[in-house]
Amino acid sequence: MLNLVLFGPPGAGKGTQANLLINRYNLIHLSTGDLLRNEIAAKTKLGLEAKSIMDKGNLVPDNVVIGMIAKKIDLNVDSNGFIFDGFPRTVAQAIALDNLLKEKKTSINIMLSLKVEDIELIKRLLKRGKDSGRSDDQDKNIITNRINEYNNKTAPLKEYYSEQNKLREIDGIGPVNNIALNINKVIENL
């Protein structure tokens, strides 16, 4: 199995790059943001609770997202592997993911961390907010809170994966295809 973590702040391009990788390597794309937005669209209890948290730009509780990911891994144990996009986002989530994969006798191969400065993140997300109407992309203060949540709770995960020699930093600025080429080089070298 090939199991990748696509990592980086909001707007770094995780979803964009994941969509290119799933076809190239025939992997299952697991985005906790997309799973949560599906729950919101279906107006489930979980979705209603998550919406108010997401609209403020805060992180949803660990047990909620870990439960969603555990279900999806169970449903796809025979796949070529997974791309985790927007998960894990806390050390507790990373430990839970390691344990879930260990149960399936597999593990994370690599964490690809996209590096993009804040000013570019804010520009990209405000633009998407206008084009797509995504509710947490509408307001600069909410986007800034998402970036703060990333810096405080998520960025420390780089150390978690670096200690396992699994962290690879990728420049996330420039044409999407150039970034994809750099990601492919890292994966081919595994």
Residue of 2, 54, 108, 110 that binds ligand AP5 (CB under 6 A): 54
Q: What is the SS3 assignment for 80?
A: coil
At residue 78, φ and ψ (nearest 5 deg) are -95, 10
Q: Count of residues binding ligand AP5 (CB under 6 A)? A: 28
CB of 97 to ligand AP5, least distance (A): 10
Residue of 5, 21, 27, 60 that binds ligand AP5 (CB under 6 A): 60
The answer to whether residue 51 forms part of the interface with ligand AP5 (CB under 6 A) is no
CB of 87 to ligand AP5, least distance (A): 4
The answer to whether residue 129 forms part of the interface with ligand AP5 (CB under 6 A) is no
Q: What is the SS3 assignment for 105?
A: coil
| Among 77, 81, 85, CA closest to 11 | 85
Query: Which region, judged by CB under 6 A, interacts with ligand AP5, from 57-65, 97-105, 159-167, 182-190?
Result: 57-65
Closer of 11 and 112 to ligand AP5 (Cβ): 11
Residue of 4, 27, 30, 36 that binds ligand AP5 (CB under 6 A): 36
Residues 60-83: b if buried by 16+ CB within 10 A, e if exposed: bebebbbebbeebbeeeeeeebbb
Residue 98 in tokens: 């390691």
CB 110 within 8 A of CB 101: no
Q: How many CA atoms, within 13 angstroms, populate the side-chain half-sphere of residue 100?
A: 24
Q: How many CA atoms, within 13 angstroms, populate the side-chain half-sphere of residue 15?
A: 10
The answer to whether residue 12 forms part of the interface with ligand AP5 (CB under 6 A) is yes
The answer to whether residue 179 forms part of the interface with ligand AP5 (CB under 6 A) is yes
Give residues in contact with ligand AP5 (CB under 6 A): 8, 10-16, 32-33, 36, 53-54, 57-60, 65, 86-87, 89, 93, 124, 128, 136, 146, 176, 179
